[in-house]
Structure 1
Amino acid sequence: MFPESDQAGIRVVVRNQAGQGMAALSKRIQKPNSAEIFEALATRRAVQFTLELGFKQSVFEGDSEVIIKALDNEVFSSPSVGHIVKDIWSMSGLLQIKSFSYVRRQGNSVVHALTQRARFSFPVLVWMENVPLDILRFVSSDFPSF
């Protein structure tokens, strides 16, 4: 969320199994009433983007432990985001294989770089089959090597 304005930035990076950037999305939205709502909206947009791209299998990583646990366990009691979580469950049901994984905010420099770009860009930017050069270096550094 951008503290200096009434807007926030949703950012999504799609990688293949080798960690290469396949697509990215950066979108400005009106700032929601809470960080929890924001994280739920960002996760819903990630699932929607994955479906729009035609992928059938996906691992979704997010830095909101509360939202990821709710999606992973399919149990959530907060009325402020419960309807968004249900929407995510419904949309992600269209995928053959899916999982939700929590990652610490400090470990996701791609998201941080895309946030900075969203702050000063058009309302929505999408990159297909490549990622901008200024973001590409973060894609490689964030991918765990096994």
Structure 2
Amino acid sequence: MGLRDLKAFNLAMLAKQGWRLLQNQGSLVFKCLKARYFPRCNFLETVDSLNSSFIWKSIIAAQPVLKNGCYWRVGDGTSVRLMSDSWIPNHPTKKILVHPVEEKWEWRVSELMDPELREADWAESSRGHSGTKVWAKLWKLKNKIIHGGKLQAPTQLNKQASDLLAEFQQAQEQLTIVHRTSTESRWCPPPNSKFKLNFDAAIFLDLKCSGIGAIICNENGEVMGAISTKGPQVQDSTEAKVLACRRALEFSIDIGFFELVIEGDSAQVLNSLMSSDTNLSWLGHIIVDIQCLVAGLHWAEVKLVKRDANCVAHSLARYAKIIVDDVFWLEDSPPPALEALYFDSLQFQ
């Protein structure tokens, strides 16, 4: 009859208030509630008290809703506790599975990162050989601090920061990124000496996975590279296409193409990519990854097109359903998309 589940609806509204306490920490309401109910922890860690107000008891009742859906966006990792915080995306528990024997040292995710090489050993699972390497590195870092090891002097860190800032500003001056929305329903070649990257995704509910397809062509419509690969199980088409966009850019950079027209048919994904606002959605960390990849290109133009102008990438994404390993084509037309390629060549010629 269309009747709402009033209990679930009420919890959703209360959880929204809890989310505001996590995001708007400069508000007067947050400062008052924090001083009264959770002065030494955050909202997700606090527990209810016997003498709390009815308003606070109502908000805290929705805390499990946020705990089930929230996890940290790592950043520099200095605020994220390695063991107890939820920080691993696309993982059932969002936490480290196997803990070390000794847990007296409160490790942070930042301790997995090498500040000089800018490398991170992302421990999605702490088991096996890679897990041993992670714990060995953590143990070494702990001993370095406890037993009198030398840390980098602040002056040296400041010099490194200044050099990196100068390098970043110089790169931004050289980079030209054009944002454009197109209503074209047919594929068009890129400008001379540039390349066009088309990407798309498909969802295979029966296999509990997704498919990713991408193709790079030159100004003559000739294929420079293409990929068809399976992706993880996703919740919706937006997640699938965000992952496809990131994988397509990684593929382009790996085979040496840095001047790209990037085309897709998802308005939501490309608008998020072109936005300068902080993306607070649950896919925001992947959007940031894509923006970093685009910023590393020598020249880039982002275009939104209709599905008819993205048929080749769509064919490759659908082809991923019947493959086991990733399939690549370099300077060769992919057989699963020959018909779509032929149709595109007739259109722009």
- Paired residue for 1:141? 343
- Paired residue for 2:327? 125
Match for residue 258 of structure 2 among 56, 75, 79: 56
In structure 2, how many angstroms separate the alpha carbons of the residues matched to 1:9 and 1:76? 28
- Paired residue for 1:94? 296
- Paired residue for 1:81? 283
- Paired residue for 1:4? 206
Deviations 1:6-38 (A, max 9, x none): 011010001112221111100102222232221
Q: 1:76 to 1:131 in 2, by over 3 A?
A: farther
Q: Which has the higher strand share?
A: 1
In structure 2, how many angstroms separate the alpha carbons of the residues matched to 1:98 and 1:74? 16
In structure 2, how many angstroms separate the alpha carbons of the residues matched to 1:133 and 1:26? 11
> In the alignment, is the contact (CA less than 8 A) between 2:319 and 2:336 conserved in 1?
no
Q: 1:132 to 1:77 in 2, by over 3 A?
A: closer
Q: 1:32 to 1:133 in 2, by over 3 A?
A: closer
In structure 2, how many angstroms separate the alpha carbons of the residues matched to 1:127 and 1:102? 25
RMSD: 1.9
**Aligned residue identity for 1:43:** C
1:52 Cα offset (Å): 0.5
Secondary structure of the residue that 2:263 maps to in structure 1? strand
Equivalent residue pairs, number:
146
> In the alignment, is the contact (CA less than 8 A) between 1:68 and 1:100 conserved in 2?
yes
Q: Percent identity?
A: 27
Deviates more, 1:66-75 or 1:4-13: 66-75
In structure 1, how many angstroms separate the alpha carbons of the residues matched to 2:341 and 2:322? 20
1:47 Cα offset (Å): 0.9
1:76 Cα offset (Å): 5.5
Deviations 1:103-124 (A, max 9, x none): 2224322123213321101231
In structure 2, how many angstroms separate the alpha carbons of the residues matched to 1:123 and 1:74? 36
> In the alignment, is the contact (CA less than 8 A) between 1:12 and 1:25 conserved in 2?
yes
- Paired residue for 2:240? 38
In structure 1, how many angstroms separate the alpha carbons of the residues matched to 2:278 and 2:247? 19
Secondary structure of the residue that 1:60 maps to in structure 2? strand
- Paired residue for 1:23? 225
Deviates more, 1:79-88 or 1:64-73: 64-73
| Unmatched tracts of structure 2, length 5 or more | 1-202
Q: 1:72 to 1:14 in 2, by over 3 A?
A: same
> In the alignment, is the contact (CA less than 8 A) between 2:230 and 2:320 conserved in 1?
yes
Deviations 1:42-97 (A, max 9, x none): 11111111100111200111111011112223335342111111111111111110
Secondary structure of the residue that 2:227 maps to in structure 1? strand
In structure 1, how many angstroms separate the alpha carbons of the residues matched to 2:221 and 2:277? 30
In structure 2, how many angstroms separate the alpha carbons of the residues matched to 1:7 and 1:123? 13
> In the alignment, is the contact (CA less than 8 A) between 2:259 and 2:298 conserved in 1?
yes
| Unmatched tracts of structure 1, length 5 or more | none
Deviates more, 1:125-134 or 1:92-101: 125-134
In structure 1, how many angstroms separate the alpha carbons of the residues matched to 2:206 and 2:245? 23
Give the TM-score normalised by structure 2.
0.39
Rg comparison, structure with higher value: 2
1:134 Cα offset (Å): 4.2
In structure 2, how many angstroms separate the alpha carbons of the residues matched to 1:46 and 1:61? 11
> In the alignment, is the contact (CA less than 8 A) between 2:264 and 2:310 conserved in 1?
no
Give the TM-score normalised by structure 1.
0.88
